[in-house]
Amino acid sequence: MDIKWQAIILLGIIFFSLILFRSWTYTSSFLNSSEKAANLERLSKVGQPASFDFQSVGVLNSYPSSNKTVGILARNWSILDPEVNAKSVLIESLDKNVSLFHYNISETWPLASLTKLLTAVVFLENSRPEEKVTISQEAVVTEGGAGGLKAGEIYNSRDLLKIMILTSSNDAAAALAESLSQKNEPFDQRSAFVKLMNQKAKEIGMTQTEIAEPVGLSAANHTTAADLLLLTEYIFNHHPEIFTWSRLPSILVQPFNRNNSHKLNNINPLVENVDFLGGKTGTTDEAGGNLLSIFSLDNDRLLVIILGSSGDRFKQAKELLNWVNKAYYLK
């Protein structure tokens, strides 16, 4: 074979090799892009370092939902960030699984009566359906008289859960926890029910949450807004009745061993809002005003968490909803 043909064959090999190399580079680039998208999806979950800008993320992982709004939320940057009058604030689109606003979401803060959401979860998962619960004197003397419970009364556990959620009754929370205890013991980190609460928090992934008692009076009960998001998602997926109860304007309850029934009103003023889907309030001197609320906005479930509010947290929640309505639009 002469030199001419050898040169032609060599050039052909080089040309073919270049084609293979460009094809491999393109495939690699495509795979890297897919990996980047997957990473963005993972990073869009709450709990990442505060320097990450959730508001710039365009990858939205949606929960299965029949009424889910299809599309991507885009930020209108002509609308400034909202003013924050609290220690921690989180606004999350539960159906698109993306944070719309966050402020100090990894800072630990006293739970106050938001504790009762976890109390309800643990009781539901460790008790028999429609269990009868007797109100003890120890439960009645728990600080606060919400719910109007009296020692010796026997309630259906579901009614007692509703009393705890609607009126934030400390007595009801204590009675529910007592009913699952093997002995009459103080509610601290050593008690059986509190151990179950801390175990459940860890199972859910609430790594910054610690529980000292099931009522919410102790400042040793602490969490973060990021952890509360995980709890909210868990309740929606496993115990949505908790949020359903929290939407009731009032309930009529009657002990098994009493003839008189009595009406109890929901202490959360947000129940008057037609777009309110459920939530819980919490207040102590150490915590200030806490609020966890879910709203419906354009067929999207929006979670608003406010911890350590020094003002009107209910008004703040409405203002944050209005801000979302202006600051984001569907592409």
Which residue numbers are catalytic? 113, 116, 168
Strand locations in the chain, DSSP E? 73-75, 88-93, 98-103, 109-110, 132-134, 154-156, 222-223, 250-253, 262-265, 276-284, 288-297, 300-309, 328-330
User: Which residues are within 8 A (CB) of 217 and not within 5 positions of it... i.e. 6 or more apart?
Assistant: 142, 143, 170, 284
Please name the amino acid found at residue 49: P
Single out the residue of 85, 86, 111 nearest to residue 286, CA to CA: 111
- Could you tell me the strand order of the sheet in which 276-284 lies? 98-103, 88-93, 300-309, 288-297, 276-284
CA dist list (Å): 180 to 61, 127, 133: 38, 7, 10
The 8-class DSSP code of residue 69 comes to P
User: How far is Cα 142 from Cα 235, in angstroms, rounded to an integer?
Assistant: 26
- The end-to-end CA distance of the chain, in Å, is 64
68 labelled as ligand-binding?
Answer: no
Q: Copy the structure tokens of residue 99.
A: 């944070």
Going by the annotation, the residues of the binding site for substrate are 280
Going by the annotation, the residues of the binding site are 280
